[in-house]
Amino acid sequence: MNKLASLALADRPREKLLAMGAEGLTNAELLAIVLGKGQREKDVLTLAEEVVEKLSTLENDLDLETLKNISGIGLVKGCQIIASIEFSRRFLTVKKKIKIRSPKDALPLLGSLRMGKQENVVVLTLDGHNQIIKLHSITLGLANQSQIHPRETFFPAIQDRAVSIMVAHNHPSGNLEPSESDLVATRRLVEVSKTMGIPVLDHLIVSEVGFLSIREKYPAYFI
Query: What spatial distance separates the first Cα and last Cα of the chain, rounded to whole Å?
Result: 51
Q: Could you read off the pLDDT of 117-153 as tens digits, one per residue?
A: 788 899 999 999 999 999 898 887 654 455 788 999 9
Q: How far apart are CA 77 and CA 75, in angstroms?
A: 6
Q: Could you read off the pLDDT of 154-186 as tens digits, one per residue?
A: 999 999 999 999 999 999 888 999 999 999 999
Number of Cβ atoms within 10 Å of the Cβ of 221 = 21
Three-state DSSP at 111 gives helix
Of 108-117, 124-133, 185-194, give the lowest mean pLDDT range: 108-117
What is the residue-averaged pLDDT of the chain? 85
Q: How far apart are CA 109 and CA 98, in angstroms?
A: 9
Number of Cβ atoms within 10 Å of the Cβ of 93 = 13
pLDDT at 132: 92
| Most confidently predicted of 76-85, 89-98, 122-131 | 122-131
More confident: 68 or 197 = 197
